[in-house]
Amino acid sequence: MADENKANKKPLPEITPINQPFWDGAKAGKLMMQKCQNCGTWVFCPRPVCGDCASDKLEWVQVSGKGKIFSFTVIREVVGQALRGFAPDIPYVTAWIDLDDGPRFCSNIIGCPIDKVHIDMPVEVVFEDSGDGVTLPKFKPCSSR
């Protein structure tokens, strides 16, 4: 029975030295992203060098966490054994969000009926404790904008 429960848990991100500042920020209620000091490119997912200029001069910057939905999909089915932990959440929305600060971020939209989610919808980050020591950034409709 314990193995079945483990198989039905949601997978969590692997926290590494490279992405640790992102997860520490989330735990503190801050959305942190890397920005290249050499060319100004936003870098996400966290990595050791800039994907545009290959500079290793990356700094962690807090972004506002406000933006608009660029694109989204509604997940209505779990495919694969590894993702069975998401079954209780179905249906749910995964979206690309254009943050006001410039970068694009992928996350879930929560706190909104699925049929009300739309392109250009203003959203803001909220932080959800997974219960396993990892805080996940998710987005909800903006209360005021």
DSSP string of the chain, one letter each residue: -HHHHHHTSPP-PPP-TTTHHHHHHHHTT-EEEEEETTT--EE-S--SS-TTT----EEEEEE--EEEEEEEEEE----SGGGGGGGGG-SEEEEEEEETTS-EEEEEE-SS-GGG--TT-EEEEEEEE-SSS-EEEEEEE-S--
Decide if pLDDT at 129 tops 70: yes
Per-residue pLDDT band at 145 (split at 50, 70, 90) = low
Residue 38 reports pLDDT greater than 70: yes
d(CA 63, CA 30): 8
Chain segment 77-97, per-residue pLDDT in tens: 988 887 888 999 999 999 999
pLDDT at 2 over 50: no
**pLDDT tens string 66-75:** 999 999 999 9
pLDDT at 8: 63
Is pLDDT at 132 greater than 90 in this prediction?
no
pTM of the model: 0.89
